Structure 1
Amino acid sequence: MRRRSLLLATVPAGLVTLAGCGDDKSDSSKESASATPSPSPSESGPSQAPAPKIVDGPLPAITAGVKFDEKPTVAKGTVEPSAQLAVKTVIPGGGQTVAENDYIQANYLGQIWATAKVFDNSYDRGTPLVIQLAQGSIIDGWRYALTGKKAGSRVQMAVPPTWGYGTQGNAQAGIKGTDTLVFVVDIQATFNAKSSAKGTDVTQDDAALPKVGTNTDGKAPSIEVPKADAPKKLVANYVIEGDGAEVGAEDAVLVQYKGVQWSNGEEFDSTYSRQALTSFSLQQVVKGWSQGLTGKKVGSRVLIVIPPDLGYGDNPPQGSGIEKGATLVFSVDILAKM
């Protein structure tokens, strides 16, 4: 499993009605994609600190890697850092504006102000961070500094302990409770409850399978279940084919989804209805999801038809409204790989 980020405070909720049910990982519903053990510091819970004042500086110079999405080199701080949150848009982007509680996809580097010691960076891992800018999900410095910025921007910030890891610091990462932290963040994309797949529509010409709507306006797509017997084997077909990286069997993903039962077409779960995206590891959901999404491309919408033996069988989650032995039909938009 790849190393995870330093920046996690708590873990965003996973796919509650799917995770761990119907296979041998019954306890993993309490976890989510980002729960992979990290050698990096994390907060124990939401900060109670008041909102900081955003100031222009001081900020140490970026001396190399000055282009967007290049690994930067940042000088050591040579003066006393501000007691407030110093933020600078180094490269302005022209993409969607980031709002609080959005998910962002970003590359970043973090180092200690006084020593320039780099304690974490995503560039060397080769995988950008995907995380929610929500209280309790990420350190407050990021939440305040990046809200209102645009995708495509490079943002530099200096985060005092109050809005970082607090007076306890994190010994494992070499961060003391008095350390101001410097971050350079390249915001690649932002996602919210209206995000959809982006790609090419794929012909749906099998009359024996459900037909899924191809709207990309952030509204829930329609799912038309045919008056036919449900398939006995897993179906996982593109509805919209994206051009992103393929999802691996051990990856975590950020998704929009809608689920209905084959027998009656009734919706039993949907991120659209909750108006909240969800993230999870493919190792922590029912087998139909993990098998159906493995190998699919980021940016795609996928029809997944899950027979009972790869779903919940005769043990559906209590209160879910799912019938025993139900075949389940999902539309899943793969927004990002985490």
Structure 2
Amino acid sequence: MRRRSLLIAVPAGMLTLAACGDDDSGSGKASDSATPQASGSSSAPPAPKVTDGPLPAITAGTKFGQKPTVAKGSGEPSKELAVKTVIAGSGKTVAENDYVSADYLGQVWNTAKVFDNSYDRKTPLVIQLAQGSIIDGWRYALTGKKAGSRVQFSVPPTWGYGEQGNQQAGIKGTDTLVFVVDIKDTFNAKSSAKGTNAPQDDSALPKVGTDTDGKAPSIELPKSAAPKKLVAEYVIEGDGAKVGAQDSVLVQYKGVVWDGGKEFDSTYQRKQLTSFSLQQVVKGWAQGLTGKKVGSRVLIVIPPDLGYGDNPPQGSGIEKDSTLVFSVDILAKM
């Protein structure tokens, strides 16, 4: 079951990862649950002035990671963006266009009606703080905060869902929204796997570099013939949750062709992370990442029948019937 979120749309995988052949009627569908969506406006309003209040009291669940209970707003809310760091964390600083992993609760100022929260789902939201991905109030309120922080803020319609509101979530065009957000982690183009290096003892398989400085790892190919079956092995084993076949993931990756070692795709070169559903990528990716732990770097060797076979994407630089080799850092489940 797909969870609700504040997304406009889930970013698609890169062209060279897109599945081809059989059409899975379940993939690519919008969520059929009541999803509060960001405004579809093409341009962002001017940046708000950030004030420190007023904000309603958090009356229960006051610790980081606990589901909060928030009182009804008293009086008129600020017409600007009111932001308060309730608990100051000491982790990485969030920058605009980062992906953040966060638990959150959202409610309407003058009724205290909770329209969404991630605590009950027991799965944090992972989303990019970029225009068009999330309401502008989140971008302005969370940029500059540190992982480990609890941030409370109120968002007037201008930087929320606009005059149209969000009927599906029960939000009117005049509603000011109140959020409590626990920032669990933040990711950017320099993010890498983190964990324990795994043995790479098989001389018939590629060797992947274990550097975690955000730069693309090396991939050294053996002189032996490519394996006929899928290979999916830890290079660095993280300690996060296991990825399920229905999950979406946030990743860094680099892909090369077995014959000749030509690189054909890399998030490192684009300096931009990517995210996708495992139901929307080639079978080798889906099977190779299922069951692997978040935080890991995984070597995936994909034979043609689980990759693109005789129908590689145009312009990808991949020849027909190529065996593909990937280094994949699983940064988060989405």
TM-score range, shorter chain: over 0.9
Structure 1 equivalent of residue 301 of structure 2? 305
Within the alignment, does 1:24 sit opposite 2:19 as a pair?
no
- The 5 A counterparts of 1:136-151 are 136-151=132-147
Show CA shifts across 1:29-79 (max 9, x none). Answer: 9x59xx544412212244431110000110000000000010000000011
What displacement does 1:27 show? 8.9
The equivalent residue for 1:14 is 13
User: Structure 2 residue aligned with 1:293, among 281, 289, 295?
Assistant: 289
Which TM-score applies when normalising by structure 2? Answer: 0.97
Whether 1:318 aligns to 2:314 is: yes
1:9–1:46 contact (8 Å) kept in structure 2: no
For 1:204-237, what per-residue CA distance to the aligned partner results, in whole angstroms no more than 9, with x for missing partners? Answer: 0000000000000000000011111000000000
Counterpart Cα distance in 1 of 2:87 and 2:43: 29
| Paired residue total | 333
Q: What's the counterpart of residue 157 of structure 1?
A: 153
Quote the residue 2:2 is aligned against.
2
Task: Determine which of 17, 30, 35 is the counterpart of 1:40.
Answer: 35
Q: Whole-Å Cα distance in 2 between the matches of residues 277 and 27 of structure 1?
A: 26
Secondary structure at the counterpart of residue 17 of structure 2:
coil
Displacement of 1:24: 1.1
* 1:100 aligns to 2:96 (yes or no): yes
Distance in 1, matches of 2:215 and 2:302, equals 23
Q: Matched residues in 2 for 1:17 and 1:37: separation?
A: 28
**Corresponding position: 1:199 with 2:200:** no
Looking at structure 2, the residues matched to 48 and 137 of structure 1 have their Cα atoms a distance apart, in angstroms, of: 12
Asked if structure 1 preserves the Cα contact closer than 8 Å seen for 2:10 and 2:276, the reply is no
CA contact (8 A) 1:76 1:116 kept: yes
After superposition, the Cα gap between the structure-2 partners of 1:242 and 1:82, relative to the gap in structure 1 and judged at 3 Å, is: same
1 CA distance for matches of 2:307 and 2:262?
17
Structure 1 contact 46–137 (Cα < 8 Å) conserved: no
2:275, 2:183 → 1: CA distance?
19
* Aligned alpha-carbon RMSD (Å): 1.5
1:166 maps to what in 2? Answer: 162
SS of corresponding position for 1:145 = helix
**Aligned positions of 1:165-314 closer than 5 A:** 165-314=161-310
**Deviation, structure 1 residue 291:** 0.2
CA distance in 1, matches of 2:276, 2:4: 14
TM-aligned CA distance change 1:124 to 1:28, over 3 Å: closer
Deviation, structure 1 residue 3: 1.6
Q: What is the one-letter code of the residue matched to 1:9?
A: I
* Residues 1:131 and 2:147 aligned together: no
Amino acid at match of 1:24: D
Q: Is the 8 A contact 1:252 1:280 kept in 2?
A: yes
Query: CA 1:226–1:36 in 2, change beyond 3 Å: closer, same or farther?
Result: farther
- Distance of 1:316 and 1:92 partners within structure 2: 49
Q: TM-score, normalised by structure 1?
A: 0.96
SS state at 1:17 partner: helix
Pair 1:60 & 2:56 matched: yes
8 Å contact 1:302–1:333 — kept in the other structure? Answer: yes
For the residue of structure 1 that corresponds to 2:194, the secondary structure is: coil
1:234-271 deviations in whole A, cap 9, x for unaligned? 00000000000000000110000000000010100000
Change in Cα spacing, 1:44 to 1:28, as seen in structure 2 (3 Å) is farther
Distance (Å, rounded) in 2 between the aligned partners of 1:187 and 1:133: 12
Structure 2 partner of 1:89: 85
Cα separation, partners in 2 of 1:36 and 1:262, compared to 1, 3 Å: farther
- How far apart, CA to CA, are the structure 1 residues paired with 2:16 and 2:288? 17
Distance in 1 of aligned mates of 2:9 and 2:276? 14
Q: d(CA) in 2 for partners of 1:232 and 1:250?
A: 26
Q: Which runs of 5+ in 1 are unaligned?
A: none
- Which secondary structure does the structure 2 equivalent of 1:105 belong to? strand
Aligned to 1:110, what secondary structure does the other structure show? strand
Q: Which amino acid aligns with 1:4?
A: R
**Residue aligned with 2:102, SS:** strand
